[in-house]
Amino acid sequence: MMQASRSDDAPPAVDAATFKAAMRALAASVTIITSCRDGQLNGMTATAVCSVSTAPPQILAVINRDTTSHGLIAESGAFAVNILAEHQQHLAGRFAQRLDDPFDGVAHERGGTGCPVVADAVAVLECRLRDRHHAGTHTIFVGEVVAVHTRAASPLLYFDGGYRRLAGSGPAAS
């Protein structure tokens, strides 16, 4: 087994540019992580989401601590992961911006957790916050899945710095 050790004061062994270049090889579903607290709805585009456990059903989402979403998830104790369909690339771009009202003109409803559920998403996993772990500039939020909504559609993917289709037919149409 390979082990690496370094003190907290030591510089990283891999620089940020090299790390980012390697991560471009990791294909991921594009999601909108939604949250709500005291009537304030928020959402952000994210690809750092994965399954943790099936018993109980849990997923994780990695959120930058500088985002509005981070505070809302931490305070409300709930979030929803909306897995976008390939025709929803425009939503990925919209929720990647910091907007006063990101849901203005976006079809959605409130789920059982109070978090927004985006219409026409491939799947939505509504979660109650179960755990959190600090990791650098981000927090890993672990949520227990309390509701799931699915529909038959192909997901929007992100790979090598661009949006892709599952069939491998190249970049997704704008």
pLDDT at 67: 92
pLDDT at 7: 57
pLDDT at 49: 95
Q: What angle do CA 130, 158, 36 make, to 5 degrees?
A: 35
Cis peptide before 116 (omega within 30 of 0): no
pLDDT at 167: 65
Per-residue confidence of the chain (174 residues) as pLDDT tens digits?
445 555 567 777 888 889 888 988 888 999 999 999 998 899 999 999 999 999 999 999 999 999 999 999 999 999 999 999 999 999 999 999 988 889 999 999 999 999 999 999 999 999 999 999 999 999 999 999 999 999 999 999 999 989 998 765 456 665
Q: Compute the residue count for the chain.
A: 174
Alpha helices (runs of H) in the chain, residue ranges in sequence order: 16-23, 68-76, 89-95
Domain ranges of the chain: 27-154
With CA atoms as reference, report the closest residue to 34 among 17, 52, 20, 46. 46
Q: Which residue has the tokens 């911006």?
A: 97
What is the residue-averaged pLDDT of the chain? 90
pLDDT at 106: 96
What residues have CB less than 8 Å from 29, skipping those under 6 apart?
47, 49, 83, 84, 122, 155, 156, 157, 158
Query: The domain 27-154: what is its CATH number?
Result: 2.30.110.10
